[in-house]
Amino acid sequence: MANNKNRRSVTLHGRVFLQGNIKTITGLHIGGAAGALEIGGVDSPIIRDPLTNRPFIPGSSLRGKMRSLTERLHGSEQNMRIGKGVFVHICRQKKMSDAEYREMYRNCPVCSVFGVTGDEGVPHPTSLVVRDVYLGDDSAAQLDRAQTDFPYSEIKWEATIDRVTSAAVPRQIERVPAGTLFEGFELAYGIYDASGRDHFATVLKALQLVEEDYLGGLGSRGGGKVEFQITNVYARKGTEYKTEKFEVDGAQPVTDHLVTTINDWVKQTFEDVGD
């Protein structure tokens, strides 16, 4: 961000927006706060919109999963402690100059796209913004008619079994049923330099990684498989913030072909962006 001792500036050359829906292929459990538990209630509740009582997918949950899987894909060193036993990746190493760190940041598909803590002195702000995603009206009506265990959700019973006595400790897990559609999914990606433009493919690959892994909890026990449906892609660029649109035919899955096509369009749209 700091170009020299006397001048601090950063230029936003434009943003790319991806919009669409998220469909649950298997039951989805994204846990709510412990404070939301009620006496006699379910053991593990889901997070809900306090205004509508409908489940929603927090942008932080989706973004965190995208980042985590991208770090695994690149084998990124987990070298920054952010809590007890919790580490994430940053590019900074011991005895590294600020100039070396900024160069590594620009070239890192994790830090450049998903950002680092605010005190790291990086060349530009976090590139990727992930919005919360809310339950669609049609799915809400369908779940109303289905008279599920709780409003818009079902209860899945699980049990831990004693390996010797076979005694069971049952527990209730709340989840959104398979086939539910969350609408209004949106990613906004800021482009500040040429390396940021060239890292856009990381965002699309991260969506594929989430699809092939899981979102929320219970992933190893069948839950959390989701499908992204891309319905709208456009860019806004330059000081006039003009809109340029990428043509999407209906709701498209995140296939390798779509990833390549959108990535090529982003590079062409922002081809005049320099370092």
pLDDT in tens, 188-212: 999 999 999 999 999 999 999 999 9
Contact 260, 38 (CB under 8 A): no
* Nearest in space to 122 (alpha carbons), one of 139, 100, 150, 144: 100
Q: For the chain, give the mean pLDDT.
A: 89
Please, what is the end-to-end C-alpha distance for the chain in angstroms?
Answer: 12
Q: What is the pLDDT of residue 40?
A: 54
| pLDDT in the model for residue 33 | 62
Q: What is the pLDDT of residues 146-190, one digit of tens each?
A: 988 899 999 988 888 888 888 888 888 899 999 999 999 999 999
pLDDT at residue 79 above 90?
A: no
List Cα–Cα distances, 33 to 30, 50, 54, 59, 86, in angstroms: 10, 12, 15, 16, 19
Band of pLDDT at residue 35, cut at 50, 70 and 90: very low
Is the pLDDT score of 107 beyond 90?
no
Residue-wise pLDDT for 118-138, tens only, equals: 677 777 788 999 999 999 999
Q: 64 burial class (0-12, 13-18, 19+ CB within 10 angstroms)?
A: middle
Segment 23-35 mean pLDDT: 84
Residue 41 has pLDDT above 90, yes or no: no
